[in-house]
Amino acid sequence: MISIRAFSSVFAVLLLFTVPSCNAGGGDSGRLEQDRMQSGSATDSRQGEDEISNSRQNAITRAVERVSPAVVGVNASKLQRRYVDPWFRLFYGEQYSLMPVLGSGFIISPDGYILTNDHVAGGSSEEISITMTDREKIPARLIGVDPVTDLALLKVDVDHDLPYIQLGNSDEVIVGEWSIAFGNPFGLMTSSAKATVTVGVVSATHVALEESEGRIYRNMIQTDAAINSGNSGGPLVNSQGKVIGINTVIYTPNQGSVGLGFAVPVNRIRTLVEILKKDGKVNREFVPGFRVQPVNEAIAQAYDLDRVEGVIVTQITSRNGVAARSGLEVADIILKANGEPVYSIGVLEGMIRYALRGESIELAVLRSNRIIPVALKLE
């Protein structure tokens, strides 16, 4: 018979050995629960990182990813005349040297057609090559140029398809929408093999700039995306990654970007590319066949005009010229051309020089106290 004191001692010993074994089972369960919590925390962390990463991806970053591989650096060497002393020239003649020119361009087809500016790789270029974003340098051929719109078409010959950019529709550009400029400012692509990207908005459309070195800049797209020296010839794209223009002109009173950059609209480019592929140049060999002078105060009073505006036809110079065939007459006052007020002779001259053979300029003409339409067909 076991006493109560002995039974208590035995019970205490049993409890001593029994309780720890129960605790061991509870510890495994706790660690499993802890592991599950840590695993869930890690999953939540990864999901959070993915969400953050996804939140950084937007229309602009996606457009940059699509467009960048098709942007190229353009390297050209142009033959330029050097200044020499007139006495030295008598014996040795004119002296020339090759000057390197760095610019930008972009591939528009998988078979290697490339667009850039005429002032980057135009007619006086002796050697032209492009730098791809994979550092590959490829010799390029000049297919054709249009100095009037500052456009040059190049071609590289490769045995594989190249990345290219889709051309958009510049008629659908909206003022205030995103605009992304790509290029090779200051030749940085030569060393980094990466196109530089700047982002802004479309600031204005249908902008006309002053003629410069025989180039006519009409219907330009204005952007505040930073465009610097070397960006010439690069693409201006929208948030869909489609080209809306080719970066051509910057307003730079301090030799740097001040937020005024201009691009030739892509719809004009599309037409010119087909012409350059076929002919290598743009045919503008038509004879306007008329002369004008600005309307002054006396003419405005004589014609009972509300304001001094327009130009008056003073002479039809050719029976076979565009003016005679279109029905324009002496003493006609041209008030508008393609809906734009003709406030100077330069406006009308610029439109005629910018136009392509076969196109028409729709004139609003004051004749016999009536405003009539005259289609000036350039052929």
Residue 206 bears catalytic tag: no
Checking phi first, is residue 241 left (phi over 0); if not, alpha (psi -120 to 50) or beta?
Answer: left
How is domain 67-155 classified at the CATH fold level? Thrombin, subunit H (2.40.10)
The end-to-end CA distance of the chain, in Å, is 133
**pLDDT of 255:** 56
Give me the CATH code for the 170-279 domain, please.
2.40.10.10
Pick the closest to residue 181 from 259, 76, 268, 74 (CA basis).
Answer: 259
What's the rounded Cα separation, in Å, for the pair 85 and 87?
5
The DSSP annotation for 274-316 comes to HHHHHHSS--------EEEEE--HHHHHHTT-SSS-SEEEEEE
**pLDDT of 122:** 81
On whether the 290-377 domain is CATH 3.30.70.260, my answer is no
Provide the residue-wise pLDDT of the chain in tens; the chain has 379 residues. Answer: 444 444 444 444 444 444 444 344 455 555 656 656 565 565 656 666 666 556 688 899 999 999 999 999 998 887 666 665 665 566 566 656 667 788 899 999 999 999 999 999 887 667 899 988 888 899 999 999 999 999 999 999 999 999 999 999 999 999 999 999 998 887 676 666 678 899 999 999 999 888 888 899 999 999 999 888 788 899 999 999 999 999 998 876 665 566 689 999 999 999 999 999 999 999 888 889 999 999 999 999 999 898 898 999 999 999 889 999 999 999 999 999 999 999 889 889 989 999 998 899 999 999 999 999 999 999 8
Domain range summary for the chain, segments of one domain joined by +:
4-56, 67-155, 170-279, 290-377
**pLDDT of 5:** 45
| Bridge pairing between strands 137-139 and 141-146 | unpaired
pLDDT tens sequence across 116-172? 999 998 876 678 999 888 888 999 999 999 999 999 999 999 999 999 999 999 999
Question: Do 67-155 and 170-279 fold alike per CATH?
Answer: yes
Out of 125, 170, 179, 232, which one is annotated catalytic?
232
**C-beta separation of 100 from 279 below 8 A:** no
**pLDDT of 96:** 61
Out of 104, 118, 125, 150, which one is annotated catalytic?
150
**pLDDT of 243:** 97
Tokens 């002032």 identify what position?
119
Residue 150 bears catalytic tag: yes
Tokens 């439109």 identify what position?
351
Tokens 């003022």 identify what position?
175
Residue 332 bears catalytic tag: no
The Cα-based distances of 119 to 102, 138, 186, 216, 235 in angstroms read: 10, 20, 15, 13, 15
Pick the closest to residue 164 from 100, 235, 251, 226 (CA basis).
Answer: 235
Burial group, residue 4, by CB count within 10 angstroms (0-12, 13-18, 19+): exposed
Q: Where are the alpha helices (DSSP H) in 164-249?
A: 188-192
The Cα-based distances of 12 to 8, 19, 26, 158 in angstroms read: 6, 10, 21, 91
209 alpha-carbon distance from chain centroid = 17
**pLDDT of 126:** 72
**C-beta separation of 259 from 247 below 8 A:** no
Tokens 């007619």 identify what position?
123
**pLDDT of 285:** 84
What's the rounded Cα separation, in Å, for the pair 274 and 280?
9
Out of 104, 118, 119, 257, which one is annotated catalytic?
119
User: Which residues touch 294 (CB under 8 Å, ≥6 apart)?
Assistant: 310, 311, 312, 344, 345
Beta partners for 222?
A: 204, 262
Beta partners for 181?
A: 198, 236
**C-beta separation of 241 from 166 below 8 A:** yes
